Amino acid sequence: MEMNEGKLKVYSVPREAVGNSDFTARVRLANGEWKDLFTYEVRVDMHDVRSSSMAAFDFEGAVEVEIVSHRAVPERVEIRPNSSGIVPEVEGRRIWFKLDKPSKLSIEVNGERFHNLHLFAGEVETDAPQPESPGVVVVQPGTHSANGLIGKLKASSEGAEPPSILYFAEGFHCIEDGLLPIPSDTTVYIAGGAIVVGSMLCRQVENVVIRGRGMIYLRDIEKTTYWRSVQIDHSKQIEVEGIISVDPPHYSIHLGQSERVKIRNFKSFSTRGWCDGIDMMSCTDIDIDDVFLRTSDDCIAIYGSRGAFKGDTRSIRVRNSILWADVAHPINIGCHGDHELEGDVIADIQFDQIDILEHHEPQDGYWGCMSINVGDRNTVRNVSFRNVRVEPFELGRPIDIRVLQNEKYNPCPGNAVRNITFENISFDGECDHPSVIGGYDERRTVEGVTFRNLRMNGRLILSPEEGNFAVGPHAHRIVFEA
């Protein structure tokens, strides 16, 4: 059962859940009773898959957190992102700190980023649907066929107001057919303490909500299935909120030719090739807020046309989020488009209040914490990066803006990059590889890149040379301002 004391919620754990003994953790309201947290195993980094840890709870007000490190005696403890400003107390193996607001944190002992503890301290749900509400189907723990679940859902929804709700309660749920196609006007609620083995599919539907505090758990699914934790294709008015995705065989959330999609408080881990976090092709009006993505490919990728999805991508907002790319880019814009015709326009994109915790890519063709690499006759324009904090990373470069042709993915080069703004950007760390800005030829150029208050290791950058930028040919109006 869910334990509730005031404004602190700690959720039950299905017996099938895989734990990690590197840490133990507990939490309490000020001077209240300690509540133990289960530390799940979450695997990270496809190059050398390792077992990391994750724990979660919800609260309001203020709490105290105590963590005990069993893997190593702490000589140094970092809590990232650094912007959290949390400095813990450390005594022996015990780590202690307070929280007074929801936070997504990495607790790292002696610089260890691969056997760390991810702590998700969320906000308490105030409007969770109740199992006894009209139109609700509670899915009991066990094995279920996707068709059977949808049959129950449709049967329960006849004449029901509000729209139908499929309610995964606490426990372990395995969808026998793997894919759960969700009809229009449906809420799928995955409660805290529920683990679902299956993929949520929204295809040609409207008004769907996928939410809760539970997990979509795909670590034992074969890579060849290409399942995504959530797949949203040719759909409108979709919301994803609160859930955790663990090790999908493909993207965590895939968006194809969809519009008016909101993704909030989503957390994800992946370890396999092409296991991006949130990818979108030919989409419009996408709002991503307060997500944590630790992925073994791009954290967020924004493309034009690809495969069955055709058209421009416009009006994308990403904010208040933490991006951790164990492989490839934290942010990647512009690779795929309609190369058979005139390409696509990828425009009106905003990133604001972003912490980048890692970028590690052995191939130099895929470097860039913030990457706009434009191929397939695409035009990328009106992109802003504001209040982005890049922490020390292992291998890559801070910024890469180019019109190019990637021989692996692009039959032809891109067309143009126009009007890109970087404002209040900081990078702390050492990087031998210069940031790059360059066009493809005299017709396919980069025009108008402004850096305003760019700081590297605290130093204001007012020229390409000061910031270790390589500005190549066919790049014009590259401006550095205080």
**Distance between CA 340 and CA 43 in Å, rounded?**
39
**For the chain, which residues make up each domain, given as ranges?**
3-123, 127-250, 267-482
**Distance between CA 196 and CA 202 in Å, rounded?**
16
Burial of 30 (0-12, 13-18, 19+ CB in 10 A): exposed
Q: Convert 141-163 to b/e letters by CB count within 10 Å (16 or more is b).
A: beebebeebbebbeebbeeeeee
| pLDDT, position 4 | 43
Closest listed residue to residue 27, CA positions, set 87, 80, 68: 68
Local mean pLDDT, 10-residue blocks, the chain (482 residues):
65 95 96 95 95 97 97 97 97 97 98 97 93 90 91 71 86 94 96 96 97 94 81 98 96 98 98 94 98 97 97 98 97 96 96 97 93 98 98 96 95 97 96 95 98 97 97 96 94
**Distance between CA 52 and CA 22 in Å, rounded?**
8
DSSP classification of residue 84:
G
Longest Cα pair distance anywhere in the chain, in angstroms? Answer: 68
Q: If you count them, how many residues does the chain have? A: 482
Kindly report the pTM of this predicted structure.
0.96
Q: Return the H-helix or E-strand segment holding 451.
A: strand 446-456
**Distance between CA 318 and CA 321 in Å, rounded?**
7
| pLDDT, position 2 | 44
**Distance between CA 102 and CA 430 in Å, rounded?**
31
**Distance between CA 288 and CA 147 in Å, rounded?**
30
DSSP classification of residue 381:
E
Q: Residues 6 or more apart from 35 whose CB is under 8 A from it?
A: 3, 5, 8, 10, 26, 27, 28, 57
**Distance between CA 418 and CA 142 in Å, rounded?**
53
**Distance between CA 126 and CA 215 in Å, rounded?**
19
| pLDDT, position 401 | 98
Instruction: Write the secondary structure of 113-174 as one string of H (helix), E (strand) and C (coil).
Output: CCCCEEEEEEECCCCCCCCCCCCEEEECCEEECHHHHHHHHHHHCCCCCCCEEEEECCEEEE
Q: Residues 261, 263, 268, 272: what is their CA dihedral angle, to the nearest 10 degrees?
A: 20
| pLDDT, position 383 | 98
**Distance between CA 376 and CA 384 in Å, rounded?**
22
* CATH 4.10.320.10 fits domain 3-123: no
**Distance between CA 117 and CA 77 in Å, rounded?**
11
Please give the sequence-ordered ranges of beta strands (E in DSSP) within 342-440, or none if there are none.
Answer: 345-359, 370-374, 379-390, 399-403, 416-427, 435-438
- Read off the amino acid at residue 223: K
* CATH 1.20.930.40 fits domain 267-482: no
Identify the sign of the CA torsion 435, 380, 240, 247.
negative
Identify the sign of the CA torsion 295, 300, 302, 307.
positive
Contact predicate 14/6, CB 8 Å: no
CA 7 to chain centre: 27
Identify the sign of the CA torsion 265, 266, 271, 277.
negative
